[in-house]
Structure 1
Amino acid sequence: MLAIASLAALALSVQQVAAHGGVLYYSNGGNWYKGFTPYNTPVGQVTIQRPWNTYDPILDATAPTVSCNDDGNSLPAGQQLTATVAAGSSITAYWNNPWPHPTGPVLTYLAQCPGSTCTGVNSNTLRWFKIDEAGLLSGTVATGVWAAGKMVAENNTWTSTIPASVPSGQYLIRFETIALHSLPAVTLYPECAQIEIVGGGSRAPTAAELVTFPGGYRNTDPGLVVDLYGQAAQTQYVTFYFLLSDFINR
C-alpha cells in the first residue's frame, strides 16, 4: 500500500511539469498502485500501469499511440503487474496536481485480453468497450462545468465502477480525458493499467459496443472539434454518446 506522504511528494514534483500530465496512481478496494514514471527508463519499474513516455497530449485521434499513450506494448514479465479488481467495485485514477485542463470530457474503457494475462499483449490489437463517460455537466461549452473540471475539483481524480455484469478475466482499463481548449488540435490524454476482474457476470459486450484504438475516434468527430470561444461557445455540448456505442447501463 502506498503511503499518502509518497503520493503528496510525487504530486508536488509533478507541479514542475508545465501544462500537461497523465494518470500517476490508481486505487481500488483500499489498495494503492503507483503508475509508471514517464521520462525514466522502464528498467526496474514495476507497476500495473502500461508504460508511457511523455506528459504531452496526443494530437491526432488516429495516432498509433492512442490506445494507451505508448506503442501498445507492456513492460516485461516480472515488471508488469496486474491488480485484482472485483466486478461491481470502483477504481480511481489520480491525475497529476494541478491538472491544467478543466474543459473536456472524461471517459473510461475496458478491453479483455485473450488468455491468462495481458502482459505481452499489444493494446492496439484489443477491442474496447466504454464503461463510463461524462461531458458537459451544466451550462454552455464556454462557461459551463465539464467532467474534466469535476475531476480537477475532486482532487484530480476520476472514479469509475467496473460493471457487475462484466465477465471475469484479464483486462486493460483505459482512463482518458480530452482537453478542448486548443481547437483545431485535439488533445487526448489516455493511460492504461492491467487488471484482473473477479466475481464477474455473464454480460459480454456486443460487437456494436466494441471499437479498436486507433479506430474509435476520427479527428473530425463533433465531440473533438468543439469551439469554446466562437459563436458555438453559447451552445450545449452533445455528450460523447454519439461517438461510440457503449456498455453503460446496458
Structure 2
Amino acid sequence: MKFVIPFLASAALANAHFTMQYLWVNGVDQGKNTYLRVPPNNNPVTDVTSTDLTCNVNGLTGSSTGTVTIPAGATIQLEWHQHDQRTGEDPISGGHKGAVQVYVAKAPTTAASFNGQGAVWTKIYSSGLLNPTSQQWATDVVNTSGGKHSVKIPASLPAGEYLIRGEVVALHVASSYPGAQIYIGCAQVKISSGGSANPPKISIPGTYKPTDPGITVNIYNNLQSYTAPGGPVWTG
C-alpha cells in the first residue's frame, strides 16, 4: 500500500490541468470565457510542432468569439483555473512549476478571422525561475495571485485587431521530450490609439524546438537558471 499512495498522488497531480478563463482590462473583469477562444478541454499541448501551439486545440479561428476594444498602453490580466469556476484551490496546481509568457500578433483584418500562422508573434512578457535557492517559479506567483498575472500592452503597438496569447510552460515532467506541458489561451482584442512600432516577430509553431532548454529540462536537478522558449521580451 505504501507504493500505491505516491502513485495515486502523482497521477492526480498529472491530471490537474487548467485553462485561461478570464481577461481583465485596466482592472475590469470581462467575464468568464469572454473574448477568449475556448478549447474543448483543459489538456496541455506537448507537441511544439503542432498548430495547436498557436491558440490551443480548435483555436485557429474565432468567428464565434467577440473582440474587446482596449487602449494601447492598457494593463491586462490573464486568469487561469483548473476547473470551470474560481474554486479556491491552487489555480494552476502547485506541482506545475514553470514559466508564464504573453505574446501578441496583429491581424491582417479582424482578430476573429486570424489564424496566427507565420512569423507574426511578439513576446511582451516572460517570467520563469525567480529564485533558484527556493525554486520559486512564475507559476507560484500566479497561484498566490488567484490565478492572475498582469502585462502592459506596449503603447507603441499600432492600432488594429490582435490576438493576445497567454502561455504557461509547465515543467514538472519535462526531463524528456515530449514532456513539457504547454497551456495556451488566446484573447481577441482591438487596440485603439496605438503607435507606429514594428516589433520583432516569431512563428508559433516554428520557433519552439524539442531541444530548447526551456522545453526539455530537469527542474529537480538543482536548477540555477532557466531560459524560456521564444527568445527575448520586446518592451516597446
Distance in 1, matches of 2:27 and 2:214, equals: 35
- Indicate the larger mover: 96-105 or 172-181: 96-105
* Gap runs ≥5 in structure 2: 1-13, 82-88
2:130 corresponds to which residue?
Answer: 137
1:105 corresponds to which residue?
Answer: 99
2:227 corresponds to which residue?
Answer: 239
Quote the offset at 1:18 in angstroms: 4.5
Quote the offset at 1:216 in angstroms: 2.1
* TM-score normalised by L of structure 2: 0.82
* TM-score normalised by L of structure 1: 0.78
Deviation by residue 1:158-207 (Cα, 9 ceiling, x = unmatched): 111101111111100001010010122111001101001112111121xx
2:74 is aligned with 1:89 = yes
Distance in 1, matches of 2:47 and 2:214, equals: 14
Taking a change above 3 Å as real, the CA distance of residues 54 and 83 of structure 1, as seen in their structure-2 partners, is same
**Aligned pair count?**
211
SS of corresponding position for 1:221: coil
2:84 corresponds to which residue?
Answer: none
2:66 is aligned with 1:73 = no
1:26 corresponds to which residue?
Answer: 23
- Report the aligned-residue RMSD: 2.0
**2:65/2:112 contact within 8 Å kept:** yes
Distance in 2, matches of 1:215 and 1:111, equals: 15
Distance in 1, matches of 2:96 and 2:147, equals: 10
Higher strand share: 2
Quote the offset at 1:245 in angstroms: 3.9
Deviant stretches of 4+, over 4 Å: none
**1:221/1:243 contact within 8 Å kept:** no
SS of corresponding position for 2:30: strand
Quote the offset at 1:89 in angstroms: 1.3
Quote the offset at 1:237 in angstroms: 1.8
**1:50/1:193 contact within 8 Å kept:** yes
Quote the offset at 1:25 in angstroms: 0.7
Taking a change above 3 Å as real, the CA distance of residues 75 and 235 of structure 1, as seen in their structure-2 partners, is closer
Taking a change above 3 Å as real, the CA distance of residues 87 and 243 of structure 1, as seen in their structure-2 partners, is same
Higher helix share: 1
**2:40/2:58 contact within 8 Å kept:** no
SS of corresponding position for 2:211: coil
**1:210/1:245 contact within 8 Å kept:** no
**1:72/1:124 contact within 8 Å kept:** no
**2:157/2:197 contact within 8 Å kept:** yes
2:150 is aligned with 1:159 = yes
